Structure formats: structure tokens, C-alpha cells
Structure 1
């Protein structure tokens, strides 16, 4: 390993002991030719004392000083701390030396989406939903680590304000995000879901539930469900002109139409953090289908929104092979945007 040959990729997964191994390798300058480094970390327990955390932090600092930068991390849900489902004792870090800065993916060029064939557009779509466009230094998981929680950028420029307001669309009987964001930040939270059989009620002094769904059309019915568009909901709640610190939605495929409607109505300009689960793909059969998804994503970009985190949802049958590359991809991706026009200075 001390040769001049570049090791393009090194993976370490040894079921504990990785911090000791990395310390040993760093002391002997054995990582100097490693370009990308993936490490699965173990060893943190619910009752671990400060020395265990210090050991992990010292190794991470040494890797940073060696030139490695984290470009992605994954929490291992097999090591969740019970009953605290927000924390896990295992995590994976993907690191790279001299992290390159890439230009924006050319999906934002109108001519690209109009003229490129479906194969190329599918590649662009999947690349975009797995990309990061702006750096959030302090990423906080609010709610369950496994499924149901969502990420929040806690940087001072974007974190929820003292009088914060949160909209949460798609509860699905998992209240961990709604409950915790109200406790951690003290936010006024409005939760929406017409599919779980609950009537309007106050869940707590901070959380109000609405038996109401979100779509892109004027107030109406979808089967038995009451539906409204975002501008109507904002006006109904008396929040017109107010900043929505976090708007989170998982609305099962209606998100692209809703984005377009929010942009047309102008309400999107008052949203600071925007969290979606996008559905569809990784393959597309119709060019119009993929274009109908790329246009609202381009429109968000033009209104100042940048992806600060992406997370493929690999629960259930979401994962499937992408026909173009053969890679395993998810048809559902959680994407997190910051409105750079609302960045605090």
C-alpha cells in the first residue's frame, strides 16, 4: 500500500475495530494513495461513554486532515438505539480526496429536456435526484431514523426561526417528524392526511391535524377525500405572506403537479426548506412522462431552490434495476431543498 499506485476505492467493513484499524493505517501513512474510502463504523452503544465518541471523532478529524471529505453518509437502521429511534450505533461514510466541484446537471437547459431522447433524459433525472447542489453543514434527522423521519438543515442561515411554521403533508400514522419538530424547534405544525380516517383535531398545543389532502386544483373532492391546493390552504389558515420554515410532503406521485401549481400561484417564494418524496422511475416509457417531471424540477431551480440532501427510499419494492446502466435504483427518492433566496445573512 506504500507503492505509488492509486487505490481508486477502498471499503472497510470489519464489524467493529475500524477506528483502531484506521488509526494504525494513518500512523503508517497507508492511506495516502487512496482516492475514495468507504467505512462502515460500529461500536457506539446507547450507554457508550465519552471516550468511545472521542475515539470516533479523533479518527474522523485525522481523516479530514489527511484530505478526505465526506460526500455521503448512511445510517444503519440495524443498530437503532431503543427506545430512541433517532439514533443509531452504526453508520457508513463515503469519503473522497479533493472533492471535485461539478457543474450543474444540464437538465436545467430547456433545449435539453425538449430534444434529448428518453434514454438520456432518464439518466439525467436519476442523476439529479441523487445529487447535492448546496452544502448544509449541520444536518439533523427529525423523527425516526428508519422510516418516517426527515432531514432538517440546522445551519443558522436556514434553521427554523423562533416563531417557526411547518406544514407536513402525508402523515400515514407516523407522527415522529411532526411531534419532534414541534418539540425541538417549538414550531407551529399543521399536519395533513385524508387517508388515515382521522377528523380535524388538535394533537397537541403545537400540532393541528387537518383531514385534508393537497393537489394542484381548486378545492374539491378526490373520491371521499377533501382536497385543496397550497394557496387555498395557506389562505384558510391565515398564513398568507408568512414564511413556512419547512414544508414536507409525501403525496404519492402528485408532487410534480403540486410543485407546478405552487410556482404558478407564487406561494413557493415563502418556503425556506422544501422536502419531497419523488415517485416514478427509474425507467420511463413515455418521453412526455419524464419531461413532465423535469420541468417542475427546473422551475424550482429557477426560483432559487437547491438540493442539500438526497436519500433513496429502499423500503419494500422500491428498488429495481435501471435498464440503461443495470444499477439498482429506487423509484422513490426523498429530496431536500433550500430556498437560497431566503438565506439569512
Structure 2
């Protein structure tokens, strides 16, 4: 406080930026205290938006500012507070009994405890549901590369079309699938601060972000945001099937996937490659139920997991189990 008082008492213009920086720091700290608010029927989970430090899930300052600012969830009837330090062993044993098929419906999930629902999510994203006879890695062996089922991509096929959302200057997947299979690839990422351009033959870059709305992001970044429906219209791809969609959009997948399911944009999409993110300390089990219901919808749409990758650099600490769990799962689906 003495330091702040000395700065405020100075009148030199040189020190005025420091005052504004300190005030901004106070504002950011206050925003971090906003965790969750609720009403009788809904739960509004607020995830902090402003985090200037680059992390595995928050690659840049601008990425963080364009995260979804809240998830509005229906509240389970008879919600009761959850206790910390639930037995991990007991929850793991129950997870061994997770049946094949889609996650349960909302009523059944609501009947589970927080620990059971959270562990169900991790168990579900750890199970192979369909065997690909020839899975091949496209791009980097670590972060940036993805496994595709080569038997599901016709060769040669000049009509092969791939949408790749989330690049962060790593075109290894896009370049590889274009070169190996001859696909026309469209790469999307507004965070790179580059204009639309032809990255290389058959790989087209677009400074557009995938979202559940059309417009400009409501923050200082002012990114161009489009739904999948609108993107296909702008690129004149409405009458073309998309063979592969790759999506690594830093938590926005939980907003986008319901929108593309609602608008039937996965019709004709044979492979769907998604990195699922979870990084929160909220105690509402609806946070996990929301995710499991989206995974259920994907299963009912015909998508089966054939490859899973866990990001060892992307973790979070469970507030219930009081231990570190994976926060990022790279999952490759094929439509049966």
C-alpha cells in the first residue's frame, strides 16, 4: 500500500501508466473471485477470462479473452452440496462397471454423486469404441498431430474436404493430410493475427474462429467468429460433404458442438477429431453432466471413438478427489 500511495502522489506523466496497471491488476483479481452464481432452476458457471500467462490451455492473452464466459446449465432436482476428498478407489471401482454405449440420460446422471459423474467423464473418454484397421498419424507425433482412420478416406479422391479449426502456427496436420490423401484443406485460427491466405497448394488459411454465433468476438481481440453453417456458406461448400473435421478450439467445443448438432452440420462428416478441455474447480456436478450429454449426443449421431490421446501438460486438480486428473483429451471419432 505504501508503494501504491507513493505512485498516486506523484504527478509525473512517467508514473501514470503504473497506476493504471495496478488498477487493472486489482480488477483482474476481482474477476478471479467470480466463480459461480445460481438461481432456482439454472446454474451459471463463470470461468475466469483474463489470464495473462500462457499455459497449455491458454496459449496467449488473446486466447484467454475469447473463452466462453459462462455455461448455463439446468440444475438437477434435489441438488445437495458435495463433500471433498471422496474416495478415488471407490469411484474407480464403480467406473469399471461403465457399460458400452452412450452416457446415460440426464435423469440417471443427476442421480449420481459428483465423484461418480466426474469419473464417468474420464472413463468414457478413455475407452475405444470402434477399431480402425489402419490408423495413421497426420502431423507431429506430439501436440499438433492427429490420428485419422485411413481406410475411411478414399484414395485418390479429388473431392476430399477437410476443415481444421485451431492451428496456432502448427500446420503439420493440415499439410500432411493434404499431401498424403490429396484433400482440400481449410485451416481456421483468428488468434494468429494473419490475414486469409494460401498457406500452400491445397491448404487455405482463414482468420476466422468457429463459434455458436456470427459476428465479432466481444472483447479487445475483435475476432471474426462464424458458425459452421455460415462458414460453409461463405466458402460455397453447402453442397459438399466434409470428410474430416479437426477441432482444437480451447474449450469452445462445448458451445460449438451442440450448435453443429442442432443445425445438422455433421451429416456426411465421416471423421470428427476433437480436443476436449476441462479445467475447473467448480463443485456443481452439472458441469460434468453438461459434457456427458454432449458426448451422448455424438454417440447417438453415430460417432465412435477409435483413438485417444492424453495431454500430459494439460491437467487440473479435482476439488473432490483432491488429486490431479487429465484436463485435455484428444479424441478421434469415426461415424459408423
TM interval, shorter chain, is: 0.5 to 0.7
Q: Is the aligned partner of 1:143 residue 2:139?
A: yes
Question: For the residues of structure 2 that align with 1:282 and 1:291, how far apart are their CA atoms?
Answer: 14
Question: For the residues of structure 2 that align with 1:228 and 1:187, how far apart are their CA atoms?
Answer: 23
Residue matched to 2:328: 332
From 130, 146, 153, the counterpart of 2:126: 130
From 185, 209, 213, the counterpart of 2:209: 213
Residue matched to 1:159: 153
Residue matched to 1:248: 246
The Cα shift of 1:119 comes to 1.4
Question: For the residues of structure 1 that align with 2:268 and 2:279, how far apart are their CA atoms?
Answer: 30
- Within 5 Å, which residues of 2 pair with 1:39-188? 103-104=99-100, 107-155=103-151, 158-160=152-154, 162=157, 163-188=159-184
Q: Is the aligned partner of 1:274 residue 2:268?
A: no
Question: For the residues of structure 2 that align with 1:105 and 1:234, how far apart are their CA atoms?
Answer: 31
Partner deviation per Cα, 1:16-38 (whole Å, 9 max, x = no partner): xxxxxxxxxxxxxxxxxxxxxxx
Question: For the residues of structure 2 that align with 1:106 and 1:200, how far apart are their CA atoms?
Answer: 39
TM-score (ref. length: structure 1):
0.64
Question: Structure 1 segments of 4 or more deviating over 4 A?
Answer: 281-284, 320-328
The Cα shift of 1:109 comes to 3.3
Distance 1:237 1:160, change over 3 A: farther
Residue matched to 1:12: none
SS in 1 for 2:110: helix
Question: For the residues of structure 2 that align with 1:225 and 1:196, how far apart are their CA atoms?
Answer: 10
From 301, 304, 307, the counterpart of 2:305: 307
TM-score (ref. length: structure 2):
0.66
Partner deviation per Cα, 1:288-328 (whole Å, 9 max, x = no partner): 2112211111111111011111111113xx23555666775
Q: Which range moves more in the overlay, 112-121 or 322-331?
A: 322-331
The number of aligned residues is 237
Residue matched to 2:291: 293
Q: Is the CA contact (8 Å cut-off) linking 2:102 and 2:296 kept in structure 1?
A: no
Query: Which ranges in structure 1 are unaligned for 5 or more consecutive residues?
Result: 1-99, 341-345
Q: Is the aligned partner of 1:262 residue 2:260?
A: yes
SS in 1 for 2:283: coil
Question: For the residues of structure 1 that align with 2:205 and 2:135, how far apart are their CA atoms?
Answer: 27
Give the alignment's Cα RMSD to 1 decimal.
Answer: 2.2
Partner deviation per Cα, 1:268-287 (whole Å, 9 max, x = no partner): 12211001111005865222
Higher relative contact order (CA 8 A, sep 6+): 2
Q: Is the CA contact (8 Å cut-off) linking 1:160 and 1:245 kept in structure 2?
A: no
Higher share in strand: 1
SS in 2 for 1:336: strand
Q: Is the CA contact (8 Å cut-off) linking 1:126 and 1:282 kept in structure 2?
A: no
SS in 1 for 2:191: coil
Q: Is the CA contact (8 Å cut-off) linking 1:122 and 1:282 kept in structure 2?
A: no
SS in 1 for 2:174: helix
Distance 1:327 1:105, change over 3 A: farther
